[in-house]
């Protein structure tokens, strides 16, 4: 079962994920985004794409949104501290 | 463990940050064997770690860098200038003739050959680690060097500055970018109209600037998210975000400062990046 987790410490409450979620998994409650029904998640990963603070993680989801894979850049990213 | 440092085209600020590591400086300092700024040795011996500060601007610096690579087991791009081009690479807006003309008044003869572009060091040699920052935060330097001295793999930081900032986003209508002024406490700088680059910049600095009310200038370089995708760039990320939060569409005049720290890096190869256009306009009037 898909699990969508919002890290409250990292979240800056911009609610862009609420706007962008096509299936209303993430909704707004008390001016902050809350995961309502994770079963509806289609794994488009729009929310984790748009999140400015990397606060959203998906568990038990076996795909990752990567349209381009550049081995040179991926190797370089690992070296950054 | 032998540590050496090398200074190329830069301001020595990263060396100051290296000395700013409080009590860790004793542990790090006793390992330093060569450093033109800190200690008085003339020749670089074989080293385990070489910290290179600064971009490559002249032929002399290129030679120093290549010699350092031969003698180093681990070469570290230390600071934003050597990792991503940094402030030194802002000179790429003008050609070398324009710069020399401006500084000397004529083309000089007795100085090392000036290269056409100031580029980060990974354009010339292989780099093992990058430690960006202008200057790198002293805690990060201490953690990084302690891990290296112990023989462990240093921990990588992937989250953006926004995750550390703690300011809250509010939807506020604005009618222009603010360059000066005192921001309100606790509210996101971007929603107040300040051009803050925190959302596209790698964290690890504990958001020192934004917590004090100064917009992030992106000194730690792009986050892994931005580096990975070809269609995501500083300009379109910030423009879109600003449009959604404040309803203000950014004017071309506002973009000049966005690329300040990544001008020489391979961000310029992205199709959406404005770096090459800025270079063309500077070089050809």
**Residue B63 pLDDT class (50, 70, 90 cuts):** very high
In a domain, B65, yes or no: yes
Task: For chain B, say whether A72 makes contact (Cβ under 8 Å).
Answer: no
Q: Are residues B32 and B146 in the same domain?
A: yes
B135 & B11 share domain:
yes
Q: Are residues B253 and B201 in the same domain?
A: yes
Nearest by CB: B140 against A66, A74, A81? A81
- Nearest residue of A to residue B170, measured between CA atoms: A14
Query: pLDDT tier at B274 (50, 70, 90 boundaries)?
Result: confident
Whether residues B16 and B83 fall in one domain: yes
Residue B109 clears pLDDT 80, i.e. is over it: yes
- Looking at chain B, the whole-number percentage of residues with pLDDT higher than 90 is 43
Q: Which of A11, A20, A52 to mutate to test the interface with B (most CBs of B within 10 A)?
A: A52
| B75 lies within 8 A of chain A by CB | no
Structure tokens at B252: 């071309």
Stretch B194-210: mean pLDDT, rounded?
A: 91
pLDDT at B220 over 60: yes
- CB distance B34 to B27 below 8 Å: no
pLDDT at residue B130, as a whole number: 94
Pair B214, B238 in one domain: yes
Instruction: Give the pLDDT mean for B160-168.
Output: 90
B167 contact A CB<8A: yes
Strand B72-78 with B47-53, pairing: parallel
Rounded distance between C-alpha atoms, residue B227 and residue B61, angstroms: 27
Give the model's pLDDT for residue A45.
83
B190 lies in the same domain as B136: no
Residue B122 covered by a domain: yes
Chain A within 8 Å of B228 (Cβ-Cβ)?
yes
Q: What is residue B237's predicted lDDT score, i.e. its pLDDT?
A: 87
- Summarize the confidence of residues B41-70 as an average pLDDT: 92
The total of other beta-carbon atoms located within 10 Å of residue B202's CB is: 25
Whether ipTM tops 0.90, in short, is no
What is the maximal distance between C-alpha atoms in chain A? 44
Among the candidates B103, B126, B150, a domain finishes at B150
Q: Of B150, B180, B212, which residue is a domain's last?
A: B150
Is residue B81 within 8 A of residue B265, CB to CB? The reply is no
| Mean pLDDT computed over every residue of chain B | 89
Mean pLDDT of the B98-104 span: 89
CATH class of domain segment(s) A3-79: alpha beta
Cis peptide before B96 (omega within 30 of 0): no
Q: DSSP label at B267?
A: G
pLDDT value at residue A64: 47
pLDDT averaged over 10-residue windows placed end to end, chain A, 81 residues: 86 88 87 85 83 86 59 84 83
> Residue A12, preceding bond cis, omega within 30 degrees?
no
Taking the C-alpha atoms of residue B235 and residue B222, their distance in angstroms, rounded to an integer, is 12
Q: Is residue B40 part of a domain?
A: yes
- Chain A residues lying within 8 Å of B122, measured CB to CB: 76
Residue B152 contacts A, CB cutoff 8 Å: no
pLDDT, residue B68, reads 93
The whole-number pLDDT of residue A70 equals 73
Note whether B168 and B267 are same-domain residues: yes
Entry pTM: 0.83
Whether residues B141 and B169 share a domain: the answer is: no
What are the chain B neighbours of A53 within 8 Å (beta carbons)?
A: 159-160, 162-163, 165, 199
pLDDT of the residue at B22:
85
Length of chain B: 285
Residues B210 and B269 occupy one common structural domain:
yes
Average pLDDT score over residue span B39-55: 91
Range of the domain at B179: 162-283
Residue of A nearest to B224 (CA): A77
Position B262 in a domain: yes
Average pLDDT in the B195-199 region?
A: 90
Question: What's the per-residue H, E or C state across B160-192?
Answer: ECHHHHCCECCCCCCCCCECCCCCCCCECCCCC
| Residue A29, C-beta contacts closer than 8 angstroms, at least 6 positions apart | none
Count of structural domains within chain B: 2
Average pLDDT of span B86-93: 90
Q: Over 70: is that where the pLDDT of B18 sits?
A: yes
In a domain, B156, yes or no: no
Same domain? For B145 and B188 the reply is no
Same domain for B188 and B276, yes or no, is yes
Give the helix ranges, DSSP H, for B72-137. 80-84, 96-104
Q: What is the pLDDT of residue A66?
A: 52
Q: Which residue has the higher pLDDT, A81 or B198?
A: B198
Residues B104 and B234 in one domain: no
Distance CA B181, CA B186 (A): 15
Residue B90: give its domain's CATH number.
Answer: 3.40.50.700
Read off the pLDDT of residues B170-196 as tens digits, 9 standing for 90 and up: 888 988 888 888 999 999 999 998 989
Last residue of a domain, one of B110, B125, B150: B150
Reported confidence tier of residue B14, pLDDT bands at 50, 70, 90: very high
């Amino acid at each position: 079962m898909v699990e969508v987790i919002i890290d409250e410490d990292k979240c800056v409450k911009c609610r862009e994920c609420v706007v962008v979620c096509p299936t209303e998994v993430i909704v707004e409650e008390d001016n902050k985004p809350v995961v309502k029904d994770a079963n509806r998640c289609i794994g488009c990963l729009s929310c984790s794409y748009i999140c400015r603070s990397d606060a959203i993680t998906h568990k038990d989801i076996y795909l990752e949104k990567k349209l381009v894979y550049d081995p040179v850049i991926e190797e370089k990213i690992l070296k950054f501290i | 463990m032998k540590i050496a440092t090398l200074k190329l085209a830069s301001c020595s600020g990263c060396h100051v940050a290296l000395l700013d590591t409080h009590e860790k400086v004793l542990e790090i300092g006793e390992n330093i064997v060569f450093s033109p700024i800190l200690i008085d040795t003339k020749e670089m011996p074989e080293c385990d770690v070489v910290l290179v500060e600064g971009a490559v601007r002249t032929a002399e610096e290129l030679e120093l860098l290549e010699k350092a690579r031969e003698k180093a087991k681990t070469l570290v791009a230390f600071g934003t200038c050597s990792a991503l081009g940094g402030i030194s690479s802002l000179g790429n807006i003008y050609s070398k003739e324009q710069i020399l003309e401006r500084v000397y008044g004529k083309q000089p003869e007795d100085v090392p050959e000036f290269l056409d572009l100031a580029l980060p060091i990974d354009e010339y040699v292989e780099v093992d680690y990058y430690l960006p920052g202008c200057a790198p935060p002293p805690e990060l330097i201490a953690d990084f060097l302690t891990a290296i001295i112990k023989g462990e793999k240093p921990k990588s930081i992937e989250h953006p500055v926004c995750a550390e900032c703690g300011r809250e986003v509010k939807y506020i209508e604005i009618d222009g970018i603010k360059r000066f002024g005192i921001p309100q406490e606790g509210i996101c700088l971007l929603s107040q109209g300040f051009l803050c680059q925190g959302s596209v910049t790698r964290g690890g600095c504990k958001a020192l600037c934004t917590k004090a009310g100064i917009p992030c200038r992106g000194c730690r370089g792009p986050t892994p998210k931005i580096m990975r995708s070809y269609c995501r760039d500083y300009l379109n990320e910030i423009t879109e975000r600003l449009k959604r939060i404040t309803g203000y569409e950014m004017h071309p005049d506002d973009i000049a400062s966005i690329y300040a720290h990544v001008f020489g890096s391979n961000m310029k190869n992205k199709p959406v990046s404005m770096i090459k256009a800025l270079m063309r306009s500077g070089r050809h009037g």
